[in-house]
């Protein structure tokens, strides 16, 4: 694997809700965090500790109220929606608890979707890449199925393939196995591990499951909006 | 645009039931617009054609005779008690030159000098009041297609021949070949041969008009060489008032367009057009609201998918266009079906309807209705589309 490099760095990142109103509440109290390309990390913490909020900041889905977030060395706080959207599409991959495939498209088209929204009609290379990712998750035979014709575990595997099709620098997963039975969860988890090793992308998993967290190389624990380890 | 249209079409195809229902709704609306607009246009064209079958587009007469009142000396107050002058039958000055000027005017297609005045028609003891119309037949036919309204005999007004209306013939017991005595007052009278009968379909005209050639009528009315009216036909029917104003300004004669002579008809026609426009407008509004509500439901149903598309790099503008395209496609496809249905209704009316009149299909109507519906679709889609574009991906994914 190549020399580890910095993918994401948070400096004193803060996030408040209801800013300027009487019920203003700060959820993240100055987070400092660095994620390298070699990281396979679990983000753990009790409910309400701010895990999802932090993940949304890291995923550029939300804007922090203070501090700075560097993606591949670039500060992001001054980016407009257009630039943040472009950065998300190019450098980040998302896997959510409820797989969220686009039901009007086949499995293969869902995998190609991030490429299609940024580059338009998929070329040969894109569809080959998507097919090989589907093969990697063991679903090459299901390429032309609609999401409704797939099981929950299969859908989640398609979502993982989709998250990797742009070769992101950082893969973010929010409770990716929370909705799956133990065995399927273990399979999905192995996939993350394999992609981390073969594609060299950093992985950050949010999870409740302490056993899952233990198998990660690094555990980031969040309590009441602060990192405690 | 490729990905936007692709997603839009997939969304529409996936929500088949919704899509079909709203397409039917749009189609019904557009069919109503197309049929009503064509029907009213056809009806109006028919009314105008019937009205102008017996009238010139512009009627030119000598200016009214007025009293000339000498201006008062400076400083004096003048009180005037004026009686209007009786308008005697009088010819248009220099009508030959005027005719030549009119013929060269742009927009004028036919010019027909006519001498017209009152007389009595007599046969035995029966007397009828008639209107003598002396004209140059070849010119007159270009203004009023009298030849198409002949029901008996032949259309011949020269050398002692006259053509009279069917009603007048009934009133005086005349038929083709009978003799008719015409008396125009001051001892001027003539006996003419009834060469043929016409029926214009307007009772007043069929009971009164006696067509002669210019010379006979001029001598009967005591206006040798003169004409009292010049009938003018124009190529743009609804520009007749402008042409009339132009003629009056240019030559100083009194020129009245068919629109002024039929003010009540014009009023009825414009009220009709207004009600057609109102129907079209409100149908278009309800079609637009239908599209807007279907797309609003679609945005709500797809909130999560929109959130995930945004998370994976779909820009706000792209999200907006996904829904605008859906509105445009619904409008375009629905209106194409509707236009076809409206066109079929028109064809059915023409072939199997009451047969009162024929509805021509205005060539611009279908493209105009489709353009209108497509534009309405885009406008209607803009509200749900901007809601989709503004969705916060975090909220959309979590709560959608």
Q: Is the pLDDT of residue B399 over 80?
A: no
The verdict on a CB contact (< 8 Å) between A116 and B316 is no
Mean pLDDT of all residues in B176-204: 89
* Alpha helices, H only, chain A: 51-58, 81-91, 107-119, 124-136, 152-164, 182-199, 210-214
Task: Give the model's pLDDT for residue B212.
Answer: 92
Contact B103/B125 with Cβ under 8 angstroms?
Answer: no
What angle (nearest 5°) sits at the alpha carbon of residue A137, between those of residues A133 and A139? 90
- What end-to-end distance do the CA atoms of chain A give, in Å? 27
What kind and span of H or E run contains B200?
none
Q: Which residues of A touch B325 (CB under 8 A)?
A: none
| Percent of chain A residues past pLDDT 70, beyond the cut | 99
Give the orientation angle of helix B16-52 with respect to helix B2-14, to 10 degrees.
Answer: 100
Question: Rounded to whole angstroms, how far apart are CA atoms B355 and B236?
Answer: 27
Fold annotation for A6-227 = Rossmann fold (3.40.50)
Q: What is the pLDDT of residues A71-98, one digit of tens each?
A: 888 898 888 888 988 888 889 988 887 7
Token pair 């069919």 is found at B31
Q: What band does B400 get if pLDDT is binned at 50, 70 and 90?
A: low
Asked whether the beta carbons of residue B316 and residue A82 sit closer than 8 angstroms, the reply is: yes
pLDDT higher than threshold 80 for residue B398 = no
Q: What is the pLDDT of residue A2?
A: 58
Q: What residue spans define the domains of chain A? A: 6-227
Q: Kindly state the helix (H) or strand (E) to which residue B257 belongs, with its residue range.
A: strand B254-257
B-chain residue closest to A99, CA distance:
B308
Select the residue of B313, B393, B398 nearest A117 (Cβ to Cβ). B313
Percent residues over pLDDT 70 in chain B: 100
Average pLDDT over residues B3-23: 91
Structure tokens of B364? 């611009």
The predicted structure's pLDDT at residue B262: 86
Helix axes A107-119, B2-14, angle to 10 degrees: 140
pLDDT tens across B75-88, in order? 888 888 888 888 88
With CB atoms and an 8 Å threshold, state whether B311 touches A117. Answer: no
Predicted complex: ipTM over 0.90: no
pLDDT at B91: 86
Would you list which residues of chain B are within 8 Å, Cβ to Cβ, of chain A?
2-3, 6-7, 10-11, 13-14, 304-305, 307-316, 318, 392-394, 397-398
Mean of per-residue pLDDT scores for chain A: 86
Q: How far apart are CA A29 and CA A54, in angstroms?
A: 11
Amino acid A78: pLDDT: 85
Q: In this model, does residue A123 exceed pLDDT 70?
A: yes
What is the arithmetic mean of pLDDT over A108-113?
A: 92
Write down the pTM of the prediction.
Answer: 0.75
Burial of B48 (0-12, 13-18, 19+ CB in 10 A): middle
* 8 A C-beta contact, residue B232 and residue B110: yes
User: Read out DSSP for B62-88?
Assistant: PPPP----PPPPTT-------PPPP--
- What chain A residue is nearest to B389 in terms of C-alpha separation? A81
- C-beta atoms of A105 and B3 within 8 A: no
Hey, are the CB atoms on B2 and A82 less than 8 Å from each other? no
Strand order, beta sheet including A170-174: A92-95, A170-174, A202-206, A40-44, A218-223, A226-227
Residue closest to B346 by CA, chosen among B366, B361, B334, B335? B361
Q: How confident is the model at residue B148 (pLDDT cuts 50, 70, 90)?
A: confident
Chain position carrying tokens 């950050």: A204
Q: Are the beta carbons of B314 and A162 separated by less than 8 Å?
A: no
**B371: CB partners within 8 A, 6+ apart:** none
Picking from B398, B375, B287, B349, the residue whose alpha carbon sits closest to that of residue B36 is B349
CA B255 – CA B260 distance, rounded (Å): 10
pLDDT at A106: 93
* B13-22, B224-233, B259-268, B355-364: the lowest-pLDDT one: B355-364
The answer to whether A127 contacts chain B (CB < 8 Å) is no
Q: Report helix, strand or coil for B4.
A: helix
For residue A22, give every residue at least 6 positions away whose Cβ sits within 8 Å of its Cβ, in sequence order, or none: none
Q: Specify which residues B360 forms β-bridges with.
A: none
Answer whether residue A186 shows pLDDT above 70: yes
Tell me what the mean pLDDT of segment B170-185 comes to: 89
Q: B254-257 and B58-61: which strand pairing?
A: antiparallel
Task: Give mean pLDDT, residues B294-302.
Answer: 88
Tell me: the pLDDT tens digits for A2-52?
577 888 998 888 888 888 888 888 888 888 889 888 899 999 888 888 888
Query: What would the two tokens of residue B328 be?
Result: 């445009």
Q: Residue B192 burial by CB count (10 A; 0-12/13-18/19+): exposed, middle or buried?
A: buried
A40 touches chain B (CB under 8 A): no
- Report CA-CA distances (Å) from B70 to B73, B117, B334: 9, 32, 72
CA distance A217 to B191: 126
Q: How many CB pairs under 8 A join A and B?
A: 70
Residues of B in Cβ contact (< 8 Å) with A120:
2-3
Q: Is it the case that residue A125 has pLDDT exceeding 70?
A: yes
* Range A190-207 average pLDDT: 86
Residue A95 carries which DSSP code?
E
Cα separation, B196 vs B209, in Å, equals 12
> What value does the mean pLDDT take over residues A168-193?
82
Q: Which of B14, B304, B398 sits opposite A104 (nearest CB)?
A: B14
- pLDDT greater than 60 at residue B305: yes
DSSP code string of A180-210: S-HHHHHHHHHHHHHHHHHH--EEEEE-S-H
Is the pLDDT assigned to residue B50 strictly greater than 90?
Answer: no
CA distance A187 to B328: 45
| Among the partner residues A52, A85, A121, nearest to B313 by beta-carbon distance | A85
Any CB–CB contact under 8 A between A89 and chain B?
Answer: yes
Chain A nearest C-alpha distance from B13 (Å)? 8
């Amino acid at each position: 694997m190549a020399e580890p490099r910095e993918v994401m760095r948070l400096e004193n990142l803060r996030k408040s809700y209801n800013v300027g109103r009487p019920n203003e509440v700060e959820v993240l109290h100055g987070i400092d965090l660095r994620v390298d390309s070699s990281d396979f990390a679990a983000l753990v913490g009790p409910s309400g500790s701010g895990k999802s909020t932090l993940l949304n900041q890291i995923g550029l889905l939300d804007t922090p109220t203070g501090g700075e977030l560097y993606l591949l060395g670039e500060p992001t706080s001054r980016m407009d929606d257009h630039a943040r959207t472009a950065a998300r599409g190019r450098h980040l991959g998302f896997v959510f608890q409820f797989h969220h495939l686009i039901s009007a498209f086949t499995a293969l088209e869902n995998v190609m979707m991030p490429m299609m929204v940024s580059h338009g009609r998929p070329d040969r290379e894109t569809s080959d890449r998507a097919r090989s990712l589907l093969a990697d998750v063991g679903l090459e035979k299901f390429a032309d199925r609609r999401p409704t014709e797939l099981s929950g575990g299969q859908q989640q595997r398609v979502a993982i393939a989709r998250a990797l099709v742009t070769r992101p620098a950082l893969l973010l997963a929010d409770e990716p196995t929370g909705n799956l039975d133990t065995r399927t969860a273990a399979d999905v988890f192995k996939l993350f591990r394999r992609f981390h090793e073969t594609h060299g992308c950093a992985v950050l998993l949010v999870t409740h499951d302490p056993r899952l967290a233990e198998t990660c190389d690094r555990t980031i624990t969040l309590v009441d909006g602060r990192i405690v380890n | 645009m490729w990905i936007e249209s692709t997603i839009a079409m997939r969304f529409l195809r996936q929500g088949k039931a919704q899509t079909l229902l709203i397409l039917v709704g749009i189609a019904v609306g557009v069919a109503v617009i197309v049929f009503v607009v064509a029907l009213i246009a056809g009806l109006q064209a028919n009314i105008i054609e019937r009205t102008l079958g017996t009238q010139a587009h512009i009627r030119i007469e000598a200016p009214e005779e007025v009293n000339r009142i000498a201006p008062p000396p400076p400083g004096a107050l003048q009180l005037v008690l004026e009686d209007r002058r009786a308008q005697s039958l009088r010819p248009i000055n220099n009508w030959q030159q005027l005719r030549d000027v009119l013929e060269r005017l742009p927009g004028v297609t036919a010019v027909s000098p006519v001498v017209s005045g009152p007389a009595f028609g007599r046969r035995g003891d029966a007397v009828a009041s008639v209107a003598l119309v002396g004209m140059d037949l070849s010119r007159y036919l270009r203004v009023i297609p009298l030849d198409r309204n002949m029901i008996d005999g032949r259309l011949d007004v020269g050398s002692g021949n006259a053509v009279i209306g069917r009603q007048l013939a009934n009133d005086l017991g005349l038929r083709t070949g009978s003799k008719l005595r015409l008396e125009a007052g001051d001892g001027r009278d003539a006996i003419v041969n009834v060469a043929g009968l016409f029926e214009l379909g307007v009772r007043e005209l069929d009971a009164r008009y006696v067509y002669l050639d210019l010379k006979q009528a001029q001598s009967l009315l005591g206006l040798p060489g003169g004409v009292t009216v010049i009938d003018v036909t124009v190529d743009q029917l609804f520009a007749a008032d402008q042409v009339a104003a132009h003629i009056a300004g240019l030559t100083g004669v009194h020129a009245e367009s068919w629109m002024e002579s039929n003010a009540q008809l014009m009023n009825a026609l414009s009220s009709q057009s207004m009600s057609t426009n109102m129907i079209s407008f409100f149908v278009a509004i309800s079609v637009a609201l239908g599209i807007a509500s279907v797309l609003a439901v679609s945005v709500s149903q797809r909130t999560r998918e929109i959130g995930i598309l945004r998370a994976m790099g779909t820009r706000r503008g792209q999200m907006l266009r996904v829904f605008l395209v859906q509105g445009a496609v619904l409008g375009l496809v629905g209106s194409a079906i509707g236009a076809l249905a409206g066109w079929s209704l028109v064809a059915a009316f023409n072939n199997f309807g009451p047969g009162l009149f024929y509805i021509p299909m205005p060539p611009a109507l279908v493209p105009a209705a489709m353009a209108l519906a497509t534009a309405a679709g885009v406008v209607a889609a803009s509200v749900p589309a901007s809601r989709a574009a503004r969705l916060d991906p975090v909220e959309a994914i979590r709560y959608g």
